[in-house]
Amino acid sequence: MKNDIFAIAIDGPASSGKSTIAKSISKKLGILYVDTGAMYRAVALFCIRKGISTTDEDAVNSVLDEIDMDIETIDGIQHIILNGEDVSDKIRTQEVGQGASDVAVFFNVRERLVEIQRNIAKEESVVMDGRDIGTNVLKDAQYKIYLTASLEERASRRYAEYVAAGENFTLEEVKAQLAIRDKNDMEREHNPLTKAEGALEIDSTNMSIEEVENAILDYVQK
């Protein structure tokens, strides 16, 4: 890392509010927001489109060289470009989210994406969110946050997003999907989701977005 730049690492389970918070914090501090989940989602989307099972490690590994990924920031919003196509909206489905959790288990996928993530953070100050940012990608980050919320609360937030996006799941289905994602992300062999040593833990179950934002800004500005 260059001397004058810093990093804020935000990790936590699916739908804990990481990206909402990371986006607003990055805006307030005038630094780059990097959503690493979007990169795993782009790999999953590529595989799904090719008809490759996202749980088939050999098949996923065999197409990694065909994937060219670019991150662009337009008006403070991250866009993910997959082989020249802006897929930022197309990666936000339940199917792609689960596929991302599947491909994220594979060592080669992680190695490739972590390299891109570290290169971005070498150049400028970032707020980066994901599952292994404070524990692995940016182990030396000056600020580390572990953002959680109860499964019930996360399911109801995700359910509301799906209703808005026209995806047809019941609240119970969404809760079951999140429980599978949690298990996958927390119990995998390579860089599972866990709280980084020294990270500030925030349970946002009963907090507003503003309250979480203020807690993080207090911590960073102290």
Which residues contribute to the site for ligand DC (CB under 6 A)? 14, 36-37, 40-41, 97, 100-101, 104, 130-133, 181, 185
Is the separation of the CB atoms in 155 and 35 below 8 Å?
no
What token pair was written down for 24? 């607003």
CA 163 to chain centre: 21
CA angle at 135 for the pair 131 and 137, rounded to the nearest 5°: 75
Beta bridge partners of 82: 69, 85
Are β-strands 126-130 and 143-148 bridged in parallel, bridged antiparallel, or unpaired? unpaired
In the bound complex, what is the minimum distance in angstroms from residue 133's beta carbon to ligand DC?
6
Q: Is the Cβ of residue 28 or residue 190 nearer to ligand DC in the bound state?
A: 190
Which residues does 3 contact at the CB level (< 8 Å), separation at least 6?
none
C-alpha separations of 201 from 25, 145, 147, 178, 204 in Å? 16, 6, 6, 20, 10
What token pair was written down for 140? 């030396």
In the bound complex, what is the minimum distance in angstroms from residue 129's beta carbon to ligand DC?
7
In the bound complex, what is the minimum distance in angstroms from residue 136's beta carbon to ligand DC?
8
In the bound complex, what is the minimum distance in angstroms from residue 103's beta carbon to ligand DC?
8
DSSP one-letter code for 139: T
Q: Is the Cβ of residue 130 or residue 144 nearer to ligand DC in the bound state?
A: 130
In the bound complex, what is the minimum distance in angstroms from residue 1's beta carbon to ligand DC?
18
Q: Is the Cβ of residue 97 or residue 155 nearer to ligand DC in the bound state?
A: 97
Q: Is the Cβ of residue 20 or residue 220 nearer to ligand DC in the bound state?
A: 20
In the bound complex, what is the minimum distance in angstroms from residue 222's beta carbon to ligand DC?
26
Q: Is the Cβ of residue 161 or residue 218 nearer to ligand DC in the bound state?
A: 161
Q: For the chain, how many helices (H) and strands (E)?
A: 8, 8
Q: Is the Cβ of residue 201 or residue 218 nearer to ligand DC in the bound state?
A: 201
